[in-house]
Amino acid sequence: MNKPKPQILLIYTGGTIGMVKNAETGSLHAFNFDNLLKQIPELKLLSCEIKTVAFKNPIDSSNMNPEHWVEIAEIIEYSYDSFDGFVILHGSDTMSYTASALSFMLENLAKPVIFTGAQLPIGDLRTDAKENLITSIQIASLKDEENTPVINEVCLYFEYKLYRGNRTTKINAEHFQAFNSLNYPCLAESGVHLKINHQYLWKLKNTEPLKVHKKLDNRIALVKLYPGVTESYLETVLKSPELKAVIIETFGSGNCTTEAWFLNLLKKAITEEKHIINATQCVGGGVHMGQYESSNRLKEIGVISAKDMTTEAAITKLMFLLGNSISSESLKTAFETSLRGEIA
């Protein structure tokens, strides 16, 4: 008996992939999503059924925010049982943030959710959009012999590589290879054959139904350290009204200045029940507090480690955990534990 064709839902949020050039001004703006499918008649050749849904007002992903993440999560929630896989077209600028956020919001995910986009609009002669879109749909359609999805996680596909979404960072504004995942190997590579690296795929932990978390708390701040950072700058950030947590992007393996004012400010914030997270500003490797004297003090005063998480994953995980209003102690434990494969 013939297997039924996989049903794929294509969700268009905006971004370069579906944009056209204004002939007069030369600037890019979003166009009617129906035109996207007309641009790629090849989609009809794929052995799956594709349905589409688009944001009412497609956006440049620089305008993405937690409300949009909830909108995407709800589209998936409402159509979860009717589809075998989801492909989300998204601007590349903040795609790693959205993919990371969705990975935390979609608990017990047992189907593929693949983010993709393009550096050049779909109508451009030299576009990378077609390959990215077609292969993403193929990956979202993959089933094993038991007809269950091969991919059970939120991924990002770009320029021949499939990555775990919450491990990615946009590293290039010019090259077609715009993303990288320095702390986790790619999940699949598209060449003459589509090679799946099964050993790195997320393994389902249970058969619980999908649980969609929609509460995100963005009363947080991100501070990137630099030589010469001033006390008044950090103090101003830490005094921001309603602030719940701060991610400090430190040097190397989690190092920072040992000047007294810096440690005193952090200590004071912790006694005021603010969470302080140490994340490295390096794109590869992670935080090892205590490896150097300059990070040992942070450990002693109760700073939380982002380990080898990307800043994108750290920010969205923090919003997700704060949104779940868990106790301070549990937040530290949960933050330092891998929930969706975001930490080694």
Q: What is d(CA 322, CA 217) in angstroms, rounded to the nearest whole number?
A: 6
Question: Binding to ligand ASP by residue 61, rule CB under 6 A?
Answer: yes
Provide the β-strand partners of residue 128.
Answer: none
**Residue 132 or 310 having the CB closest to ligand ASP:** 132
Question: Which member of 20, 37, 46, 60 binds ligand ASP (CB under 6 A)?
Answer: 60
Q: What is d(CA 307, CA 324) in angstroms, rounded to the nearest whole number?
A: 21
Question: Binding to ligand ASP by residue 93, rule CB under 6 A?
Answer: yes
Q: What is the DSSP letter of 169?
A: E
Sheet with 304-305, side-by-side order of all strands:
220-224, 245-250, 275-280, 304-305
Q: What is d(CA 99, CA 316) in angstroms, rounded to the nearest whole number?
A: 9
Question: Binding to ligand ASP by residue 16, rule CB under 6 A?
Answer: yes
How far does Cα 12 stand from its chain's mean position? 16
**Residue 277 or 315 having the CB closest to ligand ASP:** 315
Choices 14-22, 31-39, 212-220, 327-335 (CB under 6 A): range interacting with ligand ASP: 14-22
**Residue 155 or 298 having the CB closest to ligand ASP:** 155
How far does Cα 304 stand from its chain's mean position? 21
Q: Is 299 left (phi over 0), alpha (psi -120 to 50) or beta?
A: alpha
Question: Which member of 6, 66, 85, 91 binds ligand ASP (CB under 6 A)?
Answer: 91
Choices 13-21, 193-201, 208-216, 262-270 (CB under 6 A): range interacting with ligand ASP: 13-21
Q: Which residues of 97-119 are buried (b: 16+ CB within 10 A; e: fewer)?
A: bbbbbbbbbbeebbbbbbbbbbb
Q: Nearest-CB residue to ligand ASP?
A: 91
Question: Binding to ligand ASP by residue 117, rule CB under 6 A?
Answer: yes
Is 55 in a helix, a strand, or coil? Answer: coil
For the bound state, the minimum distance from the C-beta of residue 18 to ligand ASP, rounded and expressed in Å, comes to: 9
What is the full DSSP assignment across 246-283?
Answer: EEEEEBTTTB----HHHHHHHHHHHHTT-EEEEEESSS
Question: Which member of 6, 15, 58, 165 binds ligand ASP (CB under 6 A)?
Answer: 15
Binding letters toward ligand ASP, positions 132-161, x by CB under 6 A: ------------------------------
| Annotation marks residue 52 as catalytic | no
Question: Which member of 92, 100, 152, 166 binds ligand ASP (CB under 6 A)?
Answer: 92
For the bound state, the minimum distance from the C-beta of residue 25 to ligand ASP, rounded and expressed in Å, comes to: 16
Choices 57-65, 78-86, 161-169, 299-307 (CB under 6 A): range interacting with ligand ASP: 57-65
Q: For tokens 């491990």, what's the residue? A: 167
Catalytic residues: 16
Give the binding site for ligand ASP (CB under 6 A): 14-16, 60-62, 91-93, 117, 119
